[in-house]
Structure formats: C-alpha cells, structure tokens
C-alpha cells in the first residue's frame, strides 16, 4: 500500500477555466458555464493557481502580459476572477 500523500490533479479544472477565458463561445454557453468555472477557480490550491497564472500570462498580448506580471498573487487572482465574472456580458 502506498503511504505517500496524493496530490490533487487539477488538469480538468484548469482546462475548463482556460477554455472559458480564451475559447470563443456563445453568450448562452458562457452564462451556463460561468458558475461552475468560478467554483473550480475558487477551489484551486496555491500550486494550481500558479500554474494557471503561468498559462494565462503566456496567452496574453505583450502589454497585458506586462500588467499581469506586475501583480502579486492576490492581484492576479482578483484580476482573473473579475474577468470570469465579466466574460458573459461582453459579447
């Protein structure tokens, strides 16, 4: 029996969040997904959050990347959360 603690695998949650942030979709689909995506985002641990920050930063244009990189952990988390709330209403 393996006595080592198991790490939580957040691949599916990260994929859902990144799809919501960067994939094109209808307003209806975004509205339907928003609550579950925000719930996944809020449940991420610190390691998964840093992975998400890295992937998000890599997908941003240069100026947005500079602004995002200048934020601390709480600022990056708040920025992503604000975007998650705003996405369905920007279509």
In this prediction, residue 41 carries a pLDDT of 97
In this prediction, residue 36 carries a pLDDT of 94
In this prediction, residue 77 carries a pLDDT of 97
In this prediction, residue 8 carries a pLDDT of 62
**Helix, strand, coil in percent for the chain, rounding step 5:** 75, 0, 25
Q: Is residue 2 in a domain?
A: no
- Which residues in the chain land under pLDDT 70? 1-8, 89-91
Residues 77, 49 contacting (CB under 8 angstroms): yes
Residues 44, 33 contacting (CB under 8 angstroms): no
Phi-psi region of 61 (alpha: psi -120 to 50; beta: other; left: phi over 0): beta
In this prediction, residue 10 carries a pLDDT of 87
In this prediction, residue 1 carries a pLDDT of 44
In order of 8, 37, 40, the CA distances from 22 in angstroms are: 24, 13, 16
Q: Is residue 3 in a domain?
A: no
In this prediction, residue 44 carries a pLDDT of 95
Q: Is residue 35 in a domain?
A: yes
Domain that holds residue 56: 11-89
Q: Is residue 54 in a domain?
A: yes
């Amino acid at each position: 029996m393996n006595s080592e603690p198991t790490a939580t695998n957040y691949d599916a949650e990260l994929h859902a969040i990144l799809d919501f942030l960067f994939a094109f979709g209808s307003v209806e689909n975004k509205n339907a997904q928003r609550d579950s995506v925000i719930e996944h985002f809020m449940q991420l641990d610190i390691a998964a959050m840093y992975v998400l920050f890295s992937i998000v930063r890599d997908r941003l244009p240069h100026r947005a990347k500079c602004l995002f990189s200048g934020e601390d952990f709480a600022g990056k988390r708040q920025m992503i959360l604000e975007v998650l709330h705003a996405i369905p209403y920007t279509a």
